[in-house]
C-alpha cells in the first residue's frame, strides 16, 4: 500500500523528525494436505470474521486467542532465536515446526519479496488510526498478496529498530505479530511494494531477517502465551 495519508499529513507538520508508529506482521500459513486448501473456504471474509476465531477451549471468542502475555523464554522450544540472535540475515534452511509435532508436515508459509530491497518478508503493514492491528493484517494480506486470511493466534509484540528512509524520514514501530490461516485467494502481487508473492515449504524458506525468522518460528511452534519482545 502507498504511504497512509495520515503519515503524509504528519510529515507536513514535523518534517523528517521521528514518528512512533504501530505496525502489524502476519505469518500466513496453509496446510497443502488439507482438503480446504483447494479453495473451498468462503469467498469473502466478513467484517466480523476476526471476532469468531477459536478460543483455547475450542469455542468462539471475541478477539484473538492466545493473548496471555509472557516475557519468560520458552525453554521447551529448541533453537529459540531470541537466545542466539545476531543482527542481519539468517540463511535459508529448515525452520523447526511445532506443527510437525501435531502430525502435519505439509505446511507452507506465504512470503512477499520487497520491491525496494529484494528481501523476503511476511506480510506487514501500518495500523491506520482507529484500526485494530489484527484487522490491519487481514486488510494488508488482501492488498499485498490478494489472499483472504483469518488471524488464529496473537504471537508477539516488539519494538523494531529505528528506521531512516532514503528521503530522510525517521520512524520506529511498535509491531504486533500474528499467525494467520489462509482461507482462499490465489497469492499474487497486489501492489507496487512487492515484486513477488510466493508460498514456501517450511524446509525451503529463503533468507529472512532474524526478526522475521523469529516470527515464523513462533507461528510454527506449539501454542503458548504471546512473547514480549521477539529478540529481547
- Whether residue 149 has pLDDT greater than 80: yes
**Per-residue pLDDT at 210:** 94
How long is the chain? Answer: 232
Per-residue model confidence as pLDDT tens digits over 67-89 = 333 344 333 333 333 333 333 44
- Whether residue 38 has pLDDT greater than 90: no
Q: What is the mean pLDDT of the chain?
A: 76
Per-residue model confidence as pLDDT tens digits over 191-228 = 888 899 999 999 999 999 999 999 999 999 988 888 88
- CATH architecture assigned to 18-31+88-224: Alpha-Beta Complex (3.90)
What's the CA gap between 202 and 146, in Å, rounded?
A: 21
Percentage of residues of the chain with pLDDT beyond 70: 68
**Per-residue pLDDT at 73:** 37
**Per-residue pLDDT at 96:** 43
| Domain boundaries, given as residue ranges, for the chain | 18-31+88-224
- Whether residue 59 has pLDDT greater than 90: no
pLDDT grade for 53, boundaries at 50, 70 and 90: very low
Per-residue model confidence as pLDDT tens digits over 110-130 = 999 999 889 999 999 999 999
**Which of the 8 DSSP states describes residue 60?**
B
**Per-residue pLDDT at 228:** 84
- Whether residue 97 has pLDDT greater than 50: no
Average pLDDT over residues 169-174: 96
Q: How many CB atoms lie within 10 A of CB 109?
A: 24
Among the listed residues 212, 111, 201, the one whose alpha carbon sits nearest the alpha carbon of residue 155: 212
- Whether residue 178 has pLDDT greater than 50: yes
Per-residue model confidence as pLDDT tens digits over 130-144 = 999 999 999 999 999
pLDDT grade for 32, boundaries at 50, 70 and 90: confident
Average pLDDT over residues 155-171: 94
**Per-residue pLDDT at 95:** 46
pLDDT grade for 157, boundaries at 50, 70 and 90: very high
**Per-residue pLDDT at 226:** 80
Region class of 108: left (phi > 0), else alpha (psi between -120 and 50), else beta: beta
Beta bridge partners of 199: 110
Amino acid at each position: 500500500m502507498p504511504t497512509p495519508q495520515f503519515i503524509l499529513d504528519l510529515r507536513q507538520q514535523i518534517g523528517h523528525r521521528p514518528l512512533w508508529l504501530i505496525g502489524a506482521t502476519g505469518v500466513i500459513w496453509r496446510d497443502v494436505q488439507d482438503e480446504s486448501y483447494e479453495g473451498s473456504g468462503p469467498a469473502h471474509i466478513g467484517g466480523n470474521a476476526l471476532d469468531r476465531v477459536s478460543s483455547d477451549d475450542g469455542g468462539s471468542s471475541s478477539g484473538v486467542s492466545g493473548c496471555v502475555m509472557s516475557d519468560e523464554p520458552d525453554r521447551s522450544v529448541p533453537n529459540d532465536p531470541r537466545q542466539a540472535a545476531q543482527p542481519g540475515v539468517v540463511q535459508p534452511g529448515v525452520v523447526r515446526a511445532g506443527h510437525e509435532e501435531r502430525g502435519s508436515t505439509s505446511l507452507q508459509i506465504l512470503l512477499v519479496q520487497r520491491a525496494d530491497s529484494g528481501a523476503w518478508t511476511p506480510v506487514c503493514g501500518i495500523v491506520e488510526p482507529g484500526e485494530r492491528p489484527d484487522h490491519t493484517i487481514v486488510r494488508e494480506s488482501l492488498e499485498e498478496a490478494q489472499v483472504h486470511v483469518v488471524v488464529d493466534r496473537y504471537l508477539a509484540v516488539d519494538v523494531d529498530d529505528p528506521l531512516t528512509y532514503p528521503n530522510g524520514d525517521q520512524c520506529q514501530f511498535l509491531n504486533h505479530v500474528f499467525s494467520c490461516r489462509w482461507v482462499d485467494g490465489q497469492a499474487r502481487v497486489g501492489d507496487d511494494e512487492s515484486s513477488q508473492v510466493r508460498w514456501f515449504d517450511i524446509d525451503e524458506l529463503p533468507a529472512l531477517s532474524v526478526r522475521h525468522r523469529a516470527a515464523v518460528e513462533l507461528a510454527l511452534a506449539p501454542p503458548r502465551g504471546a512473547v514480549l519482545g521477539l529478540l529481547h
